[in-house]
Chain A
Amino acid sequence: MSTGAKRAPERKSKNEPEKDGAANGENPAANADDTETKAPMRDTTGTDAELRKELLRSMLVQRRFEERCAEAYALGKIGGFCHLYIGQEAISTGVMSMLRPDDYVITAYRDHGQALARGVSPRAIMAELFGKSDGCSGGKGGSMHLFDKATNFLGGHGIVGGHVPVAAGVAFAIKYRRRNQVCVCFFGEAAVNIGAFHETLNMASLWDLPAIFIIENNRYGMGTSISRSTANEDVVVRAKGYRMIGESVDGQDVFAVRECMARATERARKEKRPTLIEMRTYRFMGHSMSDAVSGTYRTKDELEENMKRDPILLLHNLIHEAGELTEGELHKIDDDAKAVAQDAWDFADASPEPAAEELYTDILVDTTS
């Protein structure tokens, strides 16, 4: 299912850090943007119509699910912090579609989309958000701490950058056991200024750990834009400092995400080398449910401009233009996604609250080895 013969020449140069545009002080991201705006979402190499339909379905489930999350939050069914992923779904879908079931995934607190794309039950996720006993973390984690051992989904973590070394530890265990799995770690661009990120990249490269570090660059760490927080906005250049391959891709293009992941997983499994990937994206909602969609830190124009590159819209149009699915068939996918969200809501609503005794369980285990 590997993508990308078409882009091979371009890819080659990115595989060699010495020739990376970023290393020469250029911003390859800026150049890439120009090309991609002219001809977005054209490179579907290696995918067939059935797969493209599946990718669309995966993204739509996340979108419809999270629209219901916003509604549930307004109704007080979801409490605490709730960070929506809307606008970034091509990343979760593209990345997960390139992983094996025995690979590992770990992420930060904006974790609903990734959990859904990884295959965690929508019912268990919604029940977790509702603080119910059937939640994927038993109602003890909430929005920021979705965990699912069955799919090797190692959590949603709430301290910016704190889970980045944990990912390297999982990769260390893979190496220790001489397996060929990979560990994928998601975090936002603001995490690249955290010490843990740098400590981890150093050790991951030094020790040849099979980890893939994905910077989801949505350009804002809460309300602070990357230009106000980061001395060098070309975040992927940081790979160079740790003798690691770094790539930057259009995170709104699910095929670009997949292609890049094909290279990174191959590198991890065969060469046992880590990769740092910047996936350029944009979040269409506020940082969390407690701030307005555009807020005081970005303009409506900017938001609207970015929403033109809605990853779902782009894929939808591509499938439609190619005549692969009729309007009716596309509607059916969307209706099914809405039904998944409704079913999750109903399930979560009906699930009981955790029993009072659960307060004191899962603090320690009673076992020894």
Chain B
Amino acid sequence: MAVVTYRDALTQALREELQRDDRVFLMGEEVAQYNGAYKVSKGLLDEFGPMRIVDTPITELGFAGIGVGAAMVGLRPIVEFMTWNFALLAIDQVVNAAAKMLYMSGGQYKMPMVFRGPNGAALQLSAQHSQAWESWLAHIPGLKVLTPGTPADAKGLLKSAIRDDNPVVFLEGEMLYNTKGEVPDGEHIVPIGVAEVKREGSDCSIITHGKMVLVAMKVADELAKEGITLDVVDLRTIRPMDVEAIAASVQKTNRAVVVEEGWELCGVGAQVVDFIQRECFDDLDAPVIRVHQEDVPMPYAKNLERLAKPDAAKTLAAVKKVLYLD
């Protein structure tokens, strides 16, 4: 197994799928000549040419709609948003067009397309550039929503997303592009809708996704020193959510902390806790606690930003609380 960055894992997935199916094309701002704002599409223009690696004007709504139209008649577009914050300008195409076309046409027009780009906060980018959108997007029937947290999942899930005949929202982590991890050699596919237990443990479950998987693993390492073992469940897919995996973990540990990058109210964690109370009511030894961004727009100042974000310290404190060790 090769150790590669999250970024290179994504590039591998794009290259392999572009080679595999000539209906697949990539479009977005700076994806071609510039090699991608985050270099995810590096080298692809040279290999596949300008009809398949398409630089667009700064016009999110317009090119998202072009993706929708192309998908309606059988191409397989990958629409890159420079960040999901900019995708808000295109949300009509994601929500009202891509997610609804199959249903409102009575099953006549499927939408084989991927909307992808970085999601969530980086460092000191302040309020408009530091938001995690998965709870918004997961709310919509007709979409699949993926949040890979590791290079292996980034590659395997992106390949699955491109091959899927439905509109898939693919949320990358801006802070994850440089992270490294083992990626299986050869054809590597991760199924959509299947969570993975990233660390086995018996004292408490951490249920999380995306960038916060790394935080959870760090906390698991930390607590292992104290003899506390955590079961880290990486959802990987937010819609459809792997409820069985959540239940299996909580039934084993009887305690859970749910960690996410986004805000508290109506967040992904709220849904996870709802599943837990329905599926595991008799298994719980303590109330489930959620860790999330503070209920504020992201501030710029370093100290305030640190206070606003969910992190290892907050997660560790939450675990201790559900273990009644605080």
Contacts and interface: CB of A to CB of B under 8 A. Distances in A.
Contact of A171 (B69, B77, B96, B107): B69
Given A169-B70, A173-B70, A368-B164, 20 more contacts: A138-B106, A140-B103, A145-B104, A147-B104, A147-B106, A149-B105, A154-B73, A155-B105, A162-B92, A162-B93, A165-B68, A166-B66, A172-B70, A176-B70, A202-B62, A203-B57, A362-B107, A363-B142, A365-B110, A367-B110
Contact of A364 (B25, B56, B160, B166): B166
Contact of A173 (B69, B97, B102, B144): B69
Interface stretch (A29-37, A51-59, A192-200, A250-258): A192-200
Interface residues of B, number: 46
A137 B141 CA distance: 18
A311 B219 CA distance: 74
A172 B65 contact: no
Contacts of B96: 158-159, 162
Interface in A21-55: none
Interface centre among A136, A149, A183 (most CB of B within 10 A): A149
Nearest to B189: A368
9 contacts: A145-B104, A147-B106, A155-B104, A170-B72, A171-B69, A173-B69, A203-B66, A362-B102, A369-B165
A141 B106 contact: yes
A246 interface: no
Contacts of B103: 140, 362-363
Interface in B88-106: 92-93, 96-97, 101-106
B105 A169 contact: no
Interface string A213-235: 00000000000000000000000
Nearest 8 A/B pairs, CB to CB: A169-B69, A165-B65, A138-B106, A199-B62, A147-B105, A169-B66, A166-B69, A137-B106
Interface centre among B21, B101, B105, B165 (most CB of A within 10 A): B105
A272 to B, nearest CB: 13
Contacts of B210: none
A310 interface: no
Interface of B: 21, 25, 51, 56-57, 59, 61-77, 92-93, 96-97, 101-110, 112, 141-142, 144, 160, 163-166
Contacts of B108: 137, 147-149
A193 to B, nearest CB: 14
A167 B165 contact: no
Contact of B69 (A136, A141, A147, A167): A167
Contacts of A362: 102-103, 105-107
A365 to B, nearest CB: 5
Interface residues of A, number: 48
B165 A368 contact: yes
A176 B104 contact: no
Interface of A: 104, 106, 135-141, 145, 147-149, 154-155, 157-159, 162-174, 176, 183, 195-196, 199-200, 202-203, 206, 361-365, 367-369
Contact of A369 (B25, B76, B107): B76
B75 A173 contact: yes
A154 B71 CA distance: 12
Contact of A164 (B21, B65, B72, B163): B65
Contacts of A157: 97
A200 B106 contact: no
A104 B62 CA distance: 19
Given A166-B97, A367-B165, A141 B105 contact: yes
Contacts of B104: 137, 140-141, 145, 147, 155
Contacts of B110: 365, 367
Contacts of A173: 69-70, 73-75
B59 A202 contact: yes
A363 B102 contact: yes
A104 B73 contact: yes
A172 B76 CA distance: 12
B21 A369 contact: yes
Given A140-B106, A363-B102, A196 B62 contact: yes
Nearest to A195: B61
Contact of B109 (A147, A159, A171): A147
A169 B102 contact: no
A154 B25 contact: no
B57 A149 contact: no
B109 A154 contact: yes
A196 B59 CA distance: 9
Given A170-B72, A170-B73, A369-B112, A165 B105 contact: no
Given A170-B73, A173-B74, A365-B166, A165 B61 contact: yes
B215 to A, nearest CB: 31
